[in-house]
Structure 1
Amino acid sequence: MDGVRISAVIFDLDGTLLDTERATGGVLREFLEKYGKVLDPDKEMKRLGQMHKESAKAIVEDYELPMTAEEYSLSIMPIYQQRWSQAQALPGVNRLIQHLHKHGVPLGLASNSIKRHIGTKISHQPGWKELFSVIIGGDEVSHGKPSPDIFLEAARRLGSDPSSCLVIEDSPVGVRAAKDAGTTVVAVPSLQNQAERYSIANYVLRSLLEFLPELWGLPPFEDWIQNALPIEPLYAKGLIREAVAQNSSVILSIDSDNGSYDTLPDQISGIFFGWAKLQIQGIFKMVAAVSWDFSTGFSRWIIKPFILGEINNFVMEPLHLVFVGYVRKLFDEETVLDADIPSKEDASIAWNALDLPDFGKDAAEFSYKT
C-alpha cells in the first residue's frame, strides 16, 4: 500500500491473536466483589494494553483495595492463568500466521505481558511457538507500550528496519507504540466503539478476515472456494422475535436478551454463512450480516440471518446458528440494518458453498453449542 513493502510482521497477542478478554471476563469483577467494590468499565477500558505491573498498581489505588500491588498480583494471577487455557484464536488468526510462515515471512510476537505468561498463553495453541521467530515480553524492555521500545527491539531481533515492519495491534496504546517505532500499523480494534482512538493507524480492519496480504507486498491468500472462505465455526443463539418473508428467504430478528452472543468475539463483522437450527423445524442453510451497531448511542451486537428456504411460523422459537464460512466485509456505506444486506449475490454464494464438503455438506455433523 502506497509503496510500502513489508519484510516482517509483528503481532500483539491479547486481543489481537487471542481472545483472552472473553476467556478471562469476569475475573476482576468477581475479585473486586469480595472486597465490596464495583468494577468501573470505563476505567478498565482505559487500561487496555497496559503492562500488568502498571495496571495492578492503578487497580489497587482506584478501588482502594486493602493490599499492595504485589499482593494483588499474587492473589489474582493464578485465576487468570486458569482461564488462559480457554482463550480461542480470533477469527482469521490461524489462517494468517500459518500463511505468512508458509511463505517465509519472519513473524514476531510483542506483548506487554511478561515473557513467561506469553509462553503459557500460546502453549494452548498448537504450533504457535514454532511459527514466531521472535517472542518478546514487556519484562524484556525498559518501557512497555505505549513506549516504542518493544517494537524497536522486535524489529532488531528480526533483522529488519522498523520502517519495513508491519505491526498488527488491537489496543490504542499498542497502535501508538508501533507508530512511534516507525512501523506500518494495521489496527483491529478491540474497542469497537472508539474508532477515533485508532485514527493514527495506517489501516483499520474490523476483523483479520479482512486482511489482504497483497496490499503490503506479501503473498496473497489462495484459500477461497467459489468466492467463499472456510472459517473455524462460530456460534450464536437466541429467540426469534420476528420473521419476514423476502423472495425465497426469511429474514429473522433475534432477541439476544433471551440467548447468547457470548461465544462471538468482538472483532468480527461482515457477511457470514452456515447453518440455522430451529428447535422445532430442523436445520436450514443460512446467510447473515453480522456487526456492531452504534446508531442508538450504545454498543450492541446485530446478527441479521436470512434462512435460505421456506419455513413456517416460528416467532419466539429457539434458534441456534453456526457460521462456517465468510463471504465479504461490510463496505463503508453499508450497515447491517440495510434492507438489502445480505444481498442476493451473498445469498447465492452461501447457498452454493454450503453444498460443498469444505463447509459441511451434512449439516448434522455440526455440534450446536447451547
Structure 2
Amino acid sequence: MSGAAAPVVFDLDGTLVLSEHVHRRAWFRFFDDWGARIDEQTYRSRFVGRRAADVLPEIDGPWRDTPLDELGRGLAGHAAALVGEVRPVPGATALLTALSARGHRIAVVTSANRCYAERVLDRVLGAVALVEFLVTAADVTRGKPDPEGYLTACRRLGADPASCHAFEDSPSGVAALVAAGMGTIVGVCTTLSPAELLAAGAHRTVPDLRDQVPV
C-alpha cells in the first residue's frame, strides 16, 4: 500500500482477529439450544460473516416465532463466554498502528454487537484508539452482503468509497464491499480459500496482515 493516505476500512472477525472458531462454537451452541441441526455447508455459505438478524429469518427453524432481538441476545451470550479465545490475525496490530502513524483514517465494520467489538479492539488488538469509526450490527438496518455498513463507514469518514482500501475475510463481506464500490478490496484468507474470496469479488488475497504494513 503506497501513495496518499487513503482511508482504510476493515471487517473485524476473521480479518483483524482470529475468531471464526469462536463464532462457529457460539452458533452451534445456539443451534443446540433450539434442538436444530445445521450442516457445515449451510453454515459456511449462509451464516459466516453475517448478522443473526439477517440470516435467521432466511433459515426455517424452531426460532421462527421468537423476536430477533431475543435470538440475538442468546447468540451474543454464547459469543461473550468465548471471547477470551479470540487472538489477533498476525500483523493486525502492527498494520493498524502503521496506518494511523501515516495519516490513514481507519474504520471497522462488523456484523457483531458493539460491546463485543469494542472489547476485542481494546483487549485483543490494543487498538481501540486507532479506529476512528466503528459500525456494528446495531448501526445498520441491513447487514452484509448489503453495502449499508461500508457505505455508512465511508460517509462518517467523509470519503468516496472508490478512494478507500478495504479488508475482508468472508464472501458476504467481500460482496458488500463490491456493492459499495470500494476502490481496493483485499481478501484475508484466515477462514476461506483465495479462490472463494476472489470469486466473491476481492481484487487480491493475502494469508494474513503481516505483509500489508506500508513501507
TM-score normalized with structure 1 length: 0.51
Instruction: State the partner residue of 2:128.
Output: 129
1:14-163 maps to which residues of 2 (within 5 A)? 14-46=13-45, 47-58=47-58, 61=60, 63-65=61-63, 68-70=66-68, 71-125=70-124, 127-163=126-162
1:1-370 maps to which residues of 2 (within 5 A)? 7-46=6-45, 47-58=47-58, 61=60, 63-65=61-63, 68-70=66-68, 71-125=70-124, 127-183=126-182, 184-193=184-193, 195-199=195-199, 200-211=201-212, 213=213, 219-220=214-215
How far apart are the structure 2 equivalents of 1:5 and 1:204? Answer: 22
Report the structure, 1 or 2, having the larger helix content.
2
How far apart are the structure 2 equivalents of 1:51 and 1:112? Answer: 5
How far apart are the structure 1 equivalents of 2:147 and 2:32? Answer: 36
CA deviations on 1:293-319 (whole Å, 9 max, x unpaired) are xxxxxxxxxxxxxxxxxxxxxxxxxxx
Displacement, 1:139?
2.2
CA deviations on 1:2-49 (whole Å, 9 max, x unpaired) are x98551111000111111222344333344345544341111101211
Displacement, 1:166?
0.2
User: Structure 1 residues 73, 38: CA separation in 2 closer, same or farther (over 3 Å shift)?
Assistant: same
The answer to whether the 8 Å contact 1:85/1:121 transfers is: no
How far apart are the structure 2 equivalents of 1:138 and 1:34? Answer: 22
How far apart are the structure 2 equivalents of 1:100 and 1:126? Answer: 14
How far apart are the structure 1 equivalents of 2:195 and 2:53? Answer: 27
Report the structure, 1 or 2, having the larger strand content.
1
The answer to whether the 8 Å contact 1:93/1:208 transfers is: yes
User: Structure 1 residues 154, 30: CA separation in 2 closer, same or farther (over 3 Å shift)?
Assistant: closer
Displacement, 1:53?
1.0
User: Structure 1 residues 40, 161: CA separation in 2 closer, same or farther (over 3 Å shift)?
Assistant: same
Displacement, 1:179?
1.7
SS where residue 26 of structure 1 aligns? helix
SS where residue 96 of structure 2 aligns? helix
Number of equivalences? 211
How far apart are the structure 2 equivalents of 1:36 and 1:181? Answer: 37
Which amino acid in 1 is paired with 2:78?
I
Which structure exhibits the higher relative contact order, with contacts defined as CA atoms closer than 8 Å and separated by 6 or more residues? Answer: 2
Which amino acid in 2 is paired with 1:136?
V
Farther-moved stretch of structure 1 (170-179 vs 197-206):
197-206
How far apart are the structure 2 equivalents of 1:74 and 1:135? Answer: 20
Displacement, 1:75?
3.0
How far apart are the structure 2 equivalents of 1:45 and 1:168? Answer: 19
Extract unaligned runs of 5+ from structure 1: 214-218, 221-370
Higher Cα Rg, which structure: 1
The answer to whether the 8 Å contact 1:57/1:69 transfers is: no
Displacement, 1:93?
0.7
How far apart are the structure 2 equivalents of 1:129 and 1:138? Answer: 18
The answer to whether the 8 Å contact 1:17/1:93 transfers is: yes
Which amino acid in 2 is paired with 1:112?
S
Farther-moved stretch of structure 1 (72-81 vs 82-91):
72-81
The answer to whether the 8 Å contact 2:174/2:197 transfers is: no
CA deviations on 1:195-225 (whole Å, 9 max, x unpaired) are 14423211111222233x5xxxxx41xxxxx
Extract unaligned runs of 5+ from structure 2: none
The answer to whether the 8 Å contact 2:49/2:111 transfers is: yes
How far apart are the structure 2 equivalents of 1:73 and 1:151? Answer: 21
Percent of aligned positions with the same letter in both sequences?
A: 27
